[in-house]
Amino acid sequence: MANLKKFIASKLYPLATYHPLKLSEPAKTIDIKTAWKGLELIIEDILIQFEIGRDNCIEFGVEFGFSSVVFSNYFKQVKGIDIFIGDEHTEEKGDHYEKTKNSLIAFENIELIKSDYRDWIKNDQTMYDFAHVDIVHNYKETYECGYWAAMHSKCCIFHDTESFPAVRKAVYDIAKNTGKKVYNYPFHNGLGIIV
């Protein structure tokens, strides 16, 4: 049933496939279990192919910080926004702010902010080089946070376009409603790319 839903979503919300030219391992990563593993190999390729600047990056959905650390290799500043209590789709449900903060202490260019994306986007008018959305994988939240992120960045990526049809639909709709281009990398649960 879940596979049928994914198949239908791929037909209803077609996204051009992203083809990396070169896979590269970031110099620094952290060893934790995450569904994001594997995507670190294409981040530099995305930055090169779309000629994205390397100053600032914002991430919504940090959890234990795997993706934040990947971005810290490429940007001068990385902001990570998370409620740090998990959500209906994560295994972790307790408060993990201190745990994540302590394990990222060595990465001085990562700033963690304990906030709901809804509160954060009310007050931030910054234009970012790069944004990442990996929060609760529902349509409403992904669309709302992702629309803001796409409008406030040159390139915005979204995790779980393959594993959550709601995320794929949100990415498809955000690209349509912002008039931006969209691609999908169909591995490691899927990565939507809006530029």
Ligand X SMILES: C[S@@+](CC[C@H](N)C(=O)[O-])C[C@H]1O[C@@H](n2cnc3c(N)ncnc32)[C@H](O)[C@@H]1O
Contact residues toward ligand X (CB under 6 A) are: 34, 36, 60-63, 66-67, 81-87, 90, 116-117, 134-136, 141
Q: Which of 119, 37, 110 is nearest to 80 (CA)?
A: 110
C-alpha count within 13 angstroms, C-beta hemisphere, residue 164: 22
Quick one: 51 or 91, whose CB is closer to ligand X? 91
As given in the structure block, the two tokens for residue 123 are 């007050």
Q: Give me the least distance between CB of 79 and ligand X, in Å please.
A: 12
* Per-residue DSSP letter, 18: P
Quick one: 36 or 128, whose CB is closer to ligand X? 36
Quick one: 7 or 25, whose CB is closer to ligand X? 25
Rounded-to-integer distance, Cα 195 and Cα 182, Å: 6
189 sits in the region (left: phi over 0; alpha: psi -120 to 50; else beta) called left
Q: Give me the least distance between CB of 28 and ligand X, in Å please.
A: 14
Q: Give me the least distance between CB of 161 and ligand X, in Å please.
A: 13
Q: Give me the least distance between CB of 11 and ligand X, in Å please.
A: 26
Quick one: 9 or 70, whose CB is closer to ligand X? 70
Rounded-to-integer distance, Cα 50 and Cα 47, Å: 6
